[in-house]
Structure 1
Amino acid sequence: MEQNNHDFSIPQRQPSVAIGIILIKFFRMTIRAMWPILVSLIIGRRAGSTFDDIILYVVIGFAAYNLIGSVLTYFRFYYYIKDNAIVLDKGVLKKTRTNIPFERIQTINFSQNLLHRLFNVVSVEIDSAGANKSEISIDALSKDEAIALREYIIAEKEHLISESGTEEEKEISLDRSPSELLLHLTPSDLLKVGVSQNHLRSMGIIFAFVFTTMNELTNDIGDFVSDQFTQFESFAEHNTLFAFVVSAILVTVISFLFSLGNSLLKYYDLKLWMSKNGLKLVRGLLNREEVTINRNKVQMVSWSTNPIRKLFKMYTLQIAQASSSEVNAHKSKINVPGSYKEQLAKVINMVFPSEYLGTEVKHSISPVIKFRIVLFYGVLPSLVALSAWFLIQDTAFYFLLALPLSFFLGQAYHKKRSYEINEELIRSNGGIVGTENVLTQIHKIQAVKVKQSWYQRRKQLATIKLYTAAGEMSIPYIRLSEALQLENFVLYRVQTDKREWM
């Protein structure tokens, strides 16, 4: 079989640069697992510890093992095409053969790190329907060969579908309309995305990393933090306003820079193409990633915004594909920040039947949820703080601010929490400060669960959970009769709809 001057029927290895890439992958795995030992080794040798010589030999042994393993892995790795399937033979001590028929292949994704880009090669991952993870992963292929392989598999798959596929599959496979560049994040868009990120989460990540690292380096982390806090407290007593302003500015700047840097690395030069077959996403600065999103594999589409992003009229679009729970979240759920309303509408219209969009009937949840939020986030914290007044004294009165705050949270949550449904689609709406919306087709739902807490049983309320191959949709605090009616309707639609869920 030949396609674009490449004969894929002959078993072949990866290019020789793959040895270095495999070695680096092994090396990174070793560093992640052993970095505390390496740090203690460096510190110990400076202190003249003889025990650290043993650790050094262990590290050298692991390095030698990685080198030998990389070379053997390279020479025992072959891929080829046979009988309308791609075959992968690999293994050093234990040989395995993976065979994926073309009709089961869902996506073929490329990615590039700095080393890949230096040698003009790509990493290839091939996913199939129902797989727990990428069934075939090739560390390095020349870019031309990888593109030729993908084009060959797609062409052969379309040929098989034209002979034995469903009418919908045939219509999609025969579509030759060119891909439309739907979204391209410009530098100004990227800056807006960075500015509107969750900076509190960024600060939490930084603190978690710092304290984890310090805990690995010293056993006296508690004493160290206590000493530093005592020094800061002593300074703040004499410079209260200055300390507060400086701390607030420092925290804001650090979290902003972290969020901006993370956005730059992850979403640099992001491009989203759309065709009738699905979507293709390319993104990344250091690690360039190309992800194909098959339309039939999409289970849920969600979009969200926050007050800052709303000022920019932007949304974060998330496309959830069918996957196992073992699949990494970043591979099963594709985030596209910086999407505008027109682009969001095009994606929704591409995935879901347009004649059903906008016809959903809206239902609100029970107002009882407001009182539950006030109770758990306002009343109880205030009572606990006041009961401990003899320990924290006047500070306890600050906890009374939780009461009006919890009232606001309850009102906002109830106002935005609702669901909409028609014969084809179901949509969940939510949020407190921002808004979150999730949309899926009813025939793609795989399980329904109606749950009741002891409080909900007293009030004849329930929470219903709808499970798809990409995750779940939850609708809390609706009437029990309404939940049972919704459960019966969804199960009826799933059983009577003959379409495939993927």
Structure 2
Amino acid sequence: MEQLNNPFAAPSRQSRIAIGIILIKFIRTTIRAFWPILLSLFIGRKTGNSFEVYIGYVALAFAAINLGGSILTYFRFYFHIDENSIVIDKGVLKRSKTNIPFERIQTINFKQNILHQFFGVVSIEIDTAGAKKSEMTIDALDKEQAMAFRDFVMKEKAEKTEDQTDEQVAVETAEANSELIMKLSVSDLFKVGVSQNHLRSMGILFAFVFTTLNELTDNIEEMVFEELSGYEEQILNNTWVLIGATMLLVAIIAFLYSLISTVLKNYDLHLSLQKNGLKLVKGLLNREEISINKKKVQVISWSENPIRRMFNMWTLGLEQASSEDASQLKSKIDVPGAYMQQVEKVITSIFPAEFFRPEEQHAVSKLLMFRIILFLGVFPALIAGAILFYHFQIQALYVLIWPLVVGILSNLYYHKRSFELNEELLKNNRGTLGHIYELTQIHKIQAVEIRQSWYQRRKALANVKLYTAAGSLSIPFIPLEKAMALEKFVLYRVETDKREWM
């Protein structure tokens, strides 16, 4: 690459908007580190001007430190492209110089928060082989400059590989060549938000509340005692009403949290098929653009739950791994809501249609269901029943309903737990109330592990774990003979298949 043809040969700074972006990052880091102390001081404040003055000085000090740090960080950050790599020179108190060779670059993704979008700039994240997180981030560049930067790097990367077609990443400069696979409408986003895991949102809410209470126990107790003194009798007489109202309020907040976060995170989501890969763009306040190479996709998964099933929608995931350190998962595309025809289109764009030959389905042993009932149903019920019987006598027998519930759920799990196999593909099926499917090409499997517990050795059963560059697939409680046959078949296909696994 001649320097005359390299528009990024000279060291350059980021857009000046980066000062504000860096400042916000510093402020967020400061708040995350000190928010319990600040909140405790605020709640436990005393009347008088001295406290307000003290807090004002502290706030001004933090603001000055953060502003100074962001300005110095901006002026001490340079990037340029030399003959074979991207070079980053940064640091305030300690300088560092990072070289990122083109051949190690996995993807170049764009992100935009609301400030980026307002000023027309983007944040660049460069994923490289062997790194858990993005190895390099440029906080703010003009969008046109960022696109030119990405296109130039990818062009140089492709030219330096032996086979340009195989190595060119899934970032296309010509948007006209892309094919839109799916786009989430407002109604689709609402369906996805309604069918989210609201229990997880409730868990996040409770974790936040209890963490805050743990930090502010003394102040909260004093404040609650002062506010509720004189209402003890009314509270005791309406305990169940208060509990019910609290649970309803928490459920409503959790639902709204799931719905709003889903809309903000996935607003205007569209997935398009490029020449050699897929590109996902989504987000309202934080805009993300993620690209992956089709040939580097290791596992495709799609799943649904009972609520999402009512809308005929599935959650779709595509996982891609790095080329050097296969144990580190890299870019992943997550689509929270897609219709089956869209899921099928994505799958067939990754795996050719001729791969989907008749597949032989294999069920797991029924002993798996009995073990689940025994250890998750019967034993806990007996222990809880014995403890509760001492306090509640005959009413403790209600706990015996639990093994029945576990039995129903484990039966559903057993009938959905299976795997399917042909010469090209392995499909792992599981789920309880919903369905989860995982699909991978056999020649991309890197290792097979067979494990047996003491009980499984007695019953000639085994668990099989199949390792790919994007994680592992587990198949439990199959006959040992079948597990060994599966291992031999997979290893034979891997050793005899000359195609690259990524």
By the TM > 0.5 criterion, same fold? yes
- Compute the displacement of 1:356 (Å): 1.4
| 1:7 aligned counterpart, secondary structure | coil
- Compute the displacement of 1:28 (Å): 0.7
| Residue number among 233, 236, 243 corresponding to 1:234 in the alignment | 236
- Compute the displacement of 1:375 (Å): 0.8
- Unmatched 5+ stretches in structure 2: none
Q: 1:232 to 1:72 in 2, by over 3 A?
A: farther
For the pair 1:317 / 2:316, whether they are aligned, the reply is yes
Instruction: Render the CA deviation track for 1:79-103: whole Å, top value 9, x for unaligned.
Output: 1111142221112233222222333
- Compute the displacement of 1:281 (Å): 0.8
Q: Tell me which amino acid in the other structure corresponds to 1:136.
A: M
- Compute the displacement of 1:264 (Å): 1.0
Q: 1:210 to 1:2 in 2, by over 3 A?
A: farther
Q: 1:333 to 1:192 in 2, by over 3 A?
A: same
Matches within 5 A, 1:9-408: 9-46=9-46, 62-161=62-161, 164-165=162-163, 168-169=166-167, 178-219=177-218, 234-235=236-237, 246=245, 249-322=248-321, 332-388=331-387, 389-408=389-408
- Compute the displacement of 1:260 (Å): 0.7
| 1:484 aligned counterpart, secondary structure | helix
My pick for the range that moved more, 426-435 or 385-394, is 385-394
Q: 1:21 to 1:231 in 2, by over 3 A?
A: farther
Aligned equivalent of 2:467: 467
The two structures, once aligned, show a CA RMSD in angstroms of 3.4
Q: Tell me which amino acid in the other structure corresponds to 2:236.
A: S
Instruction: Render the CA deviation track for 1:20-78: whole Å, top value 9, x for unaligned.
Output: 21111111111111111211232454367999999987765554443332222211211
Instruction: Render the CA deviation track for 1:245-290: whole Å, top value 9, x for unaligned.
Output: 7566444423221211111111111111112311111111111111
Q: 1:181 to 1:170 in 2, by over 3 A?
A: closer
Q: 1:10 to 1:89 in 2, by over 3 A?
A: same
Aligned equivalent of 1:456: 456
CA distance in 1, matches of 2:234, 2:301: 44
For the pair 1:492 / 2:478, whether they are aligned, the reply is no
Aligned equivalent of 1:445: 445
- Compute the displacement of 1:370 (Å): 1.0
Q: 1:270 to 1:62 in 2, by over 3 A?
A: same
My pick for the range that moved more, 274-283 or 138-147, is 274-283
Contact 2:303/2:436 (CA < 8 Å) preserved in 1?
Answer: yes
CA distance in 2, matches of 1:402, 1:190: 36
My pick for the range that moved more, 418-427 or 349-358, is 349-358
For the pair 1:477 / 2:477, whether they are aligned, the reply is yes
- Compute the displacement of 1:173 (Å): 9.8
Q: 1:244 to 1:207 in 2, by over 3 A?
A: closer
CA distance in 1, matches of 2:43, 2:165: 67
Contact 1:465/1:474 (CA < 8 Å) preserved in 2?
Answer: yes
Instruction: Render the CA deviation track for 1:122-180: whole Å, top value 9, x for unaligned.
Output: 1000112232321221000011111111122223333334xx21764479999988111
Contact 2:44/2:219 (CA < 8 Å) preserved in 1?
Answer: no
CA distance in 2, matches of 1:175, 1:113: 23
Q: 1:80 to 1:174 in 2, by over 3 A?
A: closer
Percent of aligned pairs sharing the same letter? 56
CA distance in 2, matches of 1:326, 1:85: 24
CA distance in 2, matches of 1:365, 1:473: 14
- Unmatched 5+ stretches in structure 1: none
Q: 1:166 to 1:423 in 2, by over 3 A?
A: farther
| 1:336 aligned counterpart, secondary structure | strand
- Compute the displacement of 1:109 (Å): 0.6
- Compute the displacement of 1:428 (Å): 0.7
CA distance in 2, matches of 1:225, 1:421: 62
- Compute the displacement of 1:110 (Å): 0.6
- Compute the displacement of 1:196 (Å): 0.9
CA distance in 2, matches of 1:222, 1:463: 51
| 2:273 aligned counterpart, secondary structure | strand
Contact 2:171/2:274 (CA < 8 Å) preserved in 1?
Answer: no
- Compute the displacement of 1:496 (Å): 3.0
